């Protein structure tokens, strides 16, 4: 009976479009999505821990700079030690390894795709990304998924007699799946696996990559829907108008193209200068001392460039979401760090926020010193009362009501700022930490109007000081014109 089952399984593997192959691709795509989200959560945990350390010593202090530098150097050294002590095959981005593997350079791919290399590559990817260095995860993920696909091939259910072309096809599908898990683009991941890692590609293998990438993005979306989280936020662009801005975009394209060429040239020059420095220091061959000097110099240069600019302290994910948002940027966002999306805070657009605050605490409010500001606020109060009966809203700076300078602090104001998702308890904390809030029974149609007036991209739904969910919005009114029926968040 056992021999009959083994023979049946072997015959099933040899069938074209075998169910075993489909099962392998589905499992590989699911594992790639789960692995990508797991790595992303680990990296964000490291970022939160680093932010807590910096805030404890002062975000703009010299002690904060030293903590940032020590964090970057320590984690970068731990990442490079993973490659030096655990598995040297885990060094590098992973794309050259894949190109060499598919070109037939490695006669025994077991060394480059072993479990030991998988552990070293996973640890070094997480730690290096959490250090703050702009290392990227596209290359490492292609190598990681290729190792997972290779190790899955060793299971009895998927094992073949000899490591041959079918196994390489599965690894190519794993490379496409790794790119999909990193960028969330199934077709882009497939094209990436063909263009970057393959010297030669069989067209009949396309369906394997498509199935694997499609399952990966499906599982990815299901998990993120359950977690109510997204890797990159969806962008809804406003209608395109042919005006003089088109010349600014053309100029921007020219400048960025020239800047990219200069960057590549500078990279070559820096590499030459680095080799000259290593030669003078007697570090020609690979060694731990050479790694140490290399990592420390990069970390020091990165810290000097990134720490003074607040926006450079954000993660790559946050920067991408901020850049691809169809919304105007205000200058303070380039100097502030916040747990919440920077685009939902507008320090210089305080009318709606101040009106909400006055509507909730109107009896305790003194009159504004400037009559024009007071009149403007009073006109907005009536609108707010019609929109939000519970008065749960974002607490903003009160300095505009007192007619103070826009960049002045609110320490002299009798008001204090409340924590997020809590309407009545107040503590003095930075304004930039708070998102706009609404109660669960607010009309979504009116929420869109307020969001458009305040240029918000997200509104947080709260009930009894607890977060229920997030409404993703865009800054235009195009969607509102098509919404004729009123939509309620809850009955």
Q: Over pLDDT 90: what percentage of the chain? A: 5
Nearest CA to 151 among 115, 187, 121, 175? 115
Between the alpha carbon of residue 21 and those of residues 26, 34, 167, 187, 296, the distances in Å are: 9, 20, 11, 20, 46
Residue 412's pLDDT is what?
Answer: 32
Read off the pLDDT of residues 419-432 as tens digits, 9 standing for 90 and up: 344 433 333 334 34
Residue 75's pLDDT is what?
Answer: 92
Cα 241 from Cα 466, distance rounded (Å) = 42
Residues 323-336 as b/e (b if ≥16 CB within 10 A, e otherwise) read eebebeebebbeeb
Domain ranges in the chain are 2-227, 342-482
Read off the pLDDT of residues 261-320 as tens digits, 9 standing for 90 and up: 999 999 899 888 888 888 888 877 777 888 888 888 888 888 888 888 766 777 777 766
Higher pLDDT, 3 or 260: 260
Cα 316 from Cα 44, distance rounded (Å) = 11
Residue 286's pLDDT is what?
Answer: 75
394-403 mean pLDDT: 31
Cα 103 from Cα 97, distance rounded (Å) = 10
Q: Mark out the alpha helices in 135-183 (DSSP H runs).
A: 138-152, 165-183
Nearest CA to 333 among 305, 304, 312, 302? 312
Residue 258's pLDDT is what?
Answer: 94
CATH class of 2-227: mainly alpha
Higher pLDDT, 483 or 247: 247
Cα angle 227-228-229, degrees, rounded to a multiple of 5: 90
**Half-sphere exposure of 461 toward its Cβ, with a 13 Å CA cutoff?**
16
Between the alpha carbon of residue 468 and those of residues 87, 223, 230, 461, 471, the distances in Å are: 45, 18, 16, 5, 10
Residue 466's pLDDT is what?
Answer: 64
The residues, any chain, with a CB within 8 Å of residue 446's CB and separated by 6 or more, are 387
Judge whether residue 399 has pLDDT over 90. no
Judge whether residue 235 has pLDDT over 70. no
Read off the pLDDT of residues 307-351 as tens digits, 9 standing for 90 and up: 887 667 777 777 666 666 555 544 444 444 333 333 333 333 344
Cα angle 419-415-344, degrees, rounded to a multiple of 5: 45
Residue 477's pLDDT is what?
Answer: 35
**Residue 387: which pLDDT band, with cuts at 50, 70 and 90?**
very low
């Amino acid at each position: 009976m056992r021999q009959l089952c083994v023979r049946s399984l072997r015959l099933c593997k040899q069938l074209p479009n075998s169910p075993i192959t489909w099962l392998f691709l589905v499992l590989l795509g699911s594992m790639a999505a789960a692995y990508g989200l797991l790595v992303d959560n680990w990296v964000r945990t490291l970022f939160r821990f680093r932010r807590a350390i910096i805030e404890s010593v002062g975000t703009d202090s010299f002690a904060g700079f030293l903590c940032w530098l020590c964090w970057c150097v320590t984690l970068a050294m731990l990442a490079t030690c993973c490659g030096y002590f655990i598995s040297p095959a885990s060094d590098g981005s992973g794309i050259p390894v894949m190109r060499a593997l598919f070109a037939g350079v490695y006669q025994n791919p077991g060394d480059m795709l072993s479990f030991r290399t998988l552990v070293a590559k996973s640890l070094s990817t997480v730690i290096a990304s959490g250090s703050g260095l702009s290392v990227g995860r596209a290359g490492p993920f292609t190598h990681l998924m290729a190792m997972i696909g290779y190790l899955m091939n060793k299971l009895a259910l998927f094992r073949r007699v000899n490591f041959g072309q079918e196994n390489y096809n599965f690894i190519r599908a794993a490379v496409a799946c790794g790119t999909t898990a990193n960028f969330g683009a199934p077709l882009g991941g497939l094209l990436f696996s063909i263009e970057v890692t393959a010297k030669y590609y069989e067209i009949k293998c396309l369906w394997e990559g498509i199935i694997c990438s499609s399952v990966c993005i499906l599982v990815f979306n299901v998990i993120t829907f359950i977690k109510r989280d997204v890797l990159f936020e969806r962008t809804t662009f406003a209608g395109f108008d042919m005006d003089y801005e088109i010349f600014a975009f053309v100029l921007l394209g020219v400048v960025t193209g020239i800047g990219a060429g200069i960057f590549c040239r500078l990279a070559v020059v820096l590499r030459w200068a680095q080799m000259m420095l290593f030669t003078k220091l007697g570090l020609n061959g690979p060694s731990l001392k050479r790694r140490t000097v290399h990592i420390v110099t990069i970390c020091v240069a990165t810290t000097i460039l990134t720490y003074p600019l607040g926006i450079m302290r954000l993660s790559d994910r946050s920067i991408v979401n901020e850049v691809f948002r169809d919304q105007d940027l205000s200058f303070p966002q380039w100097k502030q760090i916040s747990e919440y999306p920077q685009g939902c805070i507008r320090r210089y657009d305080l009318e709606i926020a101040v009106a909400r605050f006055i509507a909730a605490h109107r009896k305790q409010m003194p009159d504004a010193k400037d009559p024009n500001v007071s009149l403007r606020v009073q006109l907005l109060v009536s609108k707010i009362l019609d929109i939000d009966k519970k008065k749960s809203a974002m607490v903003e700076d009160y300095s505009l009501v007192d007619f103070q300078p826009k960049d002045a602090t609110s320490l002299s104001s009798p008001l204090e700022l409340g924590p997020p998702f809590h309407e009545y308890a107040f503590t003095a904390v930075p304004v930039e930490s708070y998102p706009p809030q609404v109660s669960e029974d607010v009309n979504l149609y009116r929420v869109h109007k307020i969001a458009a007036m305040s240029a918000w991209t997200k509104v947080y739904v709260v009930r009894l000081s607890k977060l229920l969910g997030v409404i993703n919005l865009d800054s235009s009114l195009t969607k509102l014109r098509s919404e004729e029926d009123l939509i309620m968040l809850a009955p």
